[in-house]
A and B are shown apart, each in its own frame.
Chain A
Amino acid sequence: MPQTLYDKLMSAHKVLEQDGSTLIYIDRQLIHEVTSPQAFEGLILAGRKIWRNKANLAVPDHNVPTTERSSGVSSITDPISRLQVETLDKNCESFDINEIQMNDIRQGIVHVIGPEQGATLPGMSIVCGDSHTTTHGALGALAFGIGTSEVEHVLATGCLWQNKAKNMKIEINGNLGVDVTAKDIALYVIGQIGTAGGTGFAIEFCGSTIRDMTIEGRMTLCNMSIEAGAKVGLVAVDDKTINYVEGRPFAPKGENWQSALKYWQTLHSDRESHFDESILIDATLISPQVTWGTSPEMVVDINGSTPDPKLEKDAIKADSIRTALEYIHLKPNTAMSSVTIDKVFIGSCTNSRIEDLRIAASVVKGKKIANNIKLALVVPGSGLVKKQAEEEGLDQIFKDAGFEWREPGCSMCLAMNADKLEAGERCASTSNRNFEGRQGQGSFTHLVSPAIAAASAIAGHFSGVIL
């Protein structure tokens, strides 16, 4: 029977089935400091061991400072944040888990370093106590976020119970405009299907636009699948995937590489395979996007305006629009290009890879950020992304334009470290969530691509890229 990529990945990892639930084998668990301490504590209390140490890879990312931190963990000034990172170090040491520590050049956001190290491979089942684990589906891996109880379950058993998701195909064809990126596609799709549009589904992205897209772009797109509520976001393996993986530290070598290649080439949906839902999107119709509200589905074209709740027929939706506009201090029918901003954040597991930094740098090159911008941050996704960018001179371009060039971490995406917005501040952010208070209590987040964040930093208000 023809199978979808998701079906193939599920059946390859099936250990057993019980009452409609499948116990699947987990190849890789990525661990960070925020959602793991209680899992390790649970193991200790029950006197349990780790099932397979090698399956796990840990890195601190949420709490780490992005400013000077040469003295290591002791440079975290907040004692509670510091304790959390110290706890991760301690747990990894006592349970013999491979950890990339804070001042290792390979440290970075868990979803950036997985693929970068080759710890994410096509065909793998990958979990992490973090919803943006969907990122890794860009390499044809079965990857999804879990809670802390499940982190503990995977540590102790090497497996996880799953109920099978339905299959959704999102086919995107056509060439993107020069200023349109994977982030804009992600926001556009969420705008179309809503933040619950993918609930209960495994989404596979396909079509000519996806085939033409870089692996970094595919990661941005799969990363945001969770913002559509999807279980996983997937892209079939192709030559780009293989070229990306080859030679990375954790990638197979020699004979193993050859047998891996053979398997990986089967990682696509079969012709005639059944999808429970299919959506067709014309890429040529997608413009750069900007969110106007407090949910990623509240999104418009960069040349668009905020909606008018009076024109919404659904009472609950109208109410959501009203509440969101009130929170974010914008009136109905306001042109987004007239909205001024205070801060700019380029970073996060969505948009902090080398390609993102190159695009943003190309927009700001030779220009200066506007006078009203209080802070413009560039936070590379990993130490290796930072190094690469510096070798290409991107850091200097950003600094010359007035941006701050920081150390890698999650930073202002969720503001668990010192990087945050003050109440009333408005930010153009390349991150993934614009929820109330996400970047700081009472602050306003607008999600955009790196190109739009860069152009808006120069303009001082939301702006398309001036070509």
Chain B
Amino acid sequence: MKKFTSISSIAMPLDRANIDTDAIIPKQFLKSIKRSGFGPNLFDEWRYLDHGEPGMDNSNRPINPDFVLNNSIYSKAQILLTRRNFGCGSSREHAPWALEDYGFRAIIAPSFADIFYNNCFKNGILPIELSSEIVDNLFSYSGQITINLKEQTVKTDDNSFEFEVDPERKRRLINGLDDIGLTLQNENQIRLFEAEYFVKYPWL
């Protein structure tokens, strides 16, 4: 997994609540059996004016000039700033895959949907929950933002905001650790658990 320590970038403001994973990456792109290549179809239905299908040459498609992602100011943004309950709906990990493939490494919102939040950490993306007031404040700010995971801070030119993150998730993200490898270090303990468990619940 990609490590995350700190990033400095402007934030792309996506001023909408309850953005669901269907909007982040529409279902037709879920037919892929690969983990990569979803970036050009991130927010496909909002981003292009035509209907997108897998395998299309996206560089020739008509873009929606009103959608913020198509504003060249934000073409290098690594931070996505948005409203509450981001990532609700389907459990598709294709959503963080698309965000990461496009170039986003952090998302700031007042709240996230549970499965999406969890999926981000598996893909080197840091989801940051900040209060609605702070998020409002950031929506009216257009400069560089520095996110430091070690310090758990989001810094603008004038302000510094602290954020919460589960210590274990933080450790794994900072070090880019492989979840499965770490769990398998407990192999013996899992075997011991199983031995007792199947005596207690023999029908399983």
Chain B residue at minimal CB-CB distance from A130: B91
How near does chain A come to B86, taking the closest CB pair, in angstroms? Answer: 10
Contacts of A25 in B (CB 8 A): 190, 193-194, 197
How near does chain A come to B185, taking the closest CB pair, in angstroms? Answer: 10
Q: Say yes or no for A441: interface residue by CB 8 A criterion.
A: yes
A interface, size bucket? 35 or more
Contact of B91 among A146, A156, A157, A416 (CB under 8 A): A146
Contacts of B31 in A (CB 8 A): 34, 63, 78, 80-81, 83-84, 416
Contact assessment for A256 and B202 in the assembled complex, using a CB-CB cutoff below 8 Å: yes
Q: Say yes or no for B156: interface residue by CB 8 A criterion.
A: no
How near does chain B come to A235, taking the closest CB pair, in angstroms? Answer: 20
How near does chain B come to A1, taking the closest CB pair, in angstroms? Answer: 21
Contacts of A231 in B (CB 8 A): 114
Contact assessment for A23 and B54 in the assembled complex, using a CB-CB cutoff below 8 Å: no
Contact of B33 among A87, A124, A416 (CB under 8 A): A87
Q: Say yes or no for B78: interface residue by CB 8 A criterion.
A: no
Q: Say yes or no for B150: interface residue by CB 8 A criterion.
A: no
Contact assessment for B115 and A147 in the assembled complex, using a CB-CB cutoff below 8 Å: yes
Contact of B18 among A51, A63, A295, A415 (CB under 8 A): A295
Q: Say yes or no for B27: interface residue by CB 8 A criterion.
A: yes
Q: Say yes or no for A11: interface residue by CB 8 A criterion.
A: no
Interface residues of B in 126-181 (CB under 8 A from A): 166-168, 179-180
Give the CA-CA distance A228 to B17 in the complex, in Å. Answer: 15
Q: Say yes or no for A153: interface residue by CB 8 A criterion.
A: yes
Contact assessment for B179 and A153 in the assembled complex, using a CB-CB cutoff below 8 Å: yes
How near does chain B come to A202, taking the closest CB pair, in angstroms? Answer: 11
Q: Say yes or no for B100: interface residue by CB 8 A criterion.
A: no
Interface string of A383-418 (1 = CB under 8 A from B): 000000000000000000000000000000011100
Contacts of A35 in B (CB 8 A): 91-93
Interface residues of B in 78-136 (CB under 8 A from A): 83-85, 88-93, 96, 111, 113-115, 118-119, 122-123
Give the CA-CA distance A437 to B21 in the complex, in Å. Answer: 11
- A131-B91, A157-B184 known; A257 and B203 CB under 8 Å? yes
Contact assessment for B204 and A15 in the assembled complex, using a CB-CB cutoff below 8 Å: no
Give the CA-CA distance A116 to B168 in the complex, in Å. Answer: 38
- A80-B54, A149-B179, A152-B180 known; A437 and B122 CB under 8 Å? no
Interface residues of B in 21-72 (CB under 8 A from A): 22-23, 26-28, 30-35, 45, 51, 54-55
How near does chain B come to A190, taking the closest CB pair, in angstroms? Answer: 11
Contacts of A263 in B (CB 8 A): 201
Contact assessment for B89 and A41 in the assembled complex, using a CB-CB cutoff below 8 Å: no
On B, residues with C-beta under 8 Å from A are 16-18, 20, 22-23, 26-28, 30-35, 45, 51, 54-55, 83-85, 88-93, 96, 111, 113-115, 118-119, 122-123, 166-168, 179-180, 183-184, 186, 189-190, 193-194, 197, 201-204
Contacts of A145 in B (CB 8 A): 91, 115
Q: Say yes or no for A18: interface residue by CB 8 A criterion.
A: yes
Contact assessment for B166 and A163 in the assembled complex, using a CB-CB cutoff below 8 Å: yes
Contact of A147 among B17, B34, B119, B190 (CB under 8 A): B119
Q: Say yes or no for A260: interface residue by CB 8 A criterion.
A: yes
Interface residues of A in 242-258 (CB under 8 A from B): 252, 256-257
Interface string of A120-155 (1 = CB under 8 A from B): 010110000111000000000000111111101100
Contacts of A381 in B (CB 8 A): none
Contact of B27 among A196, A257, A316, A414 (CB under 8 A): A414
Contact of A436 among B23, B84, B122 (CB under 8 A): B23
How near does chain B come to A232, taking the closest CB pair, in angstroms? Answer: 10
- A147-B115, A433-B20, A435-B23 known; A83 and B33 CB under 8 Å? yes
Chain A residue at minimal CB-CB distance from B96: A147
Contact assessment for B179 and A34 in the assembled complex, using a CB-CB cutoff below 8 Å: no
Contact assessment for A20 and B168 in the assembled complex, using a CB-CB cutoff below 8 Å: yes
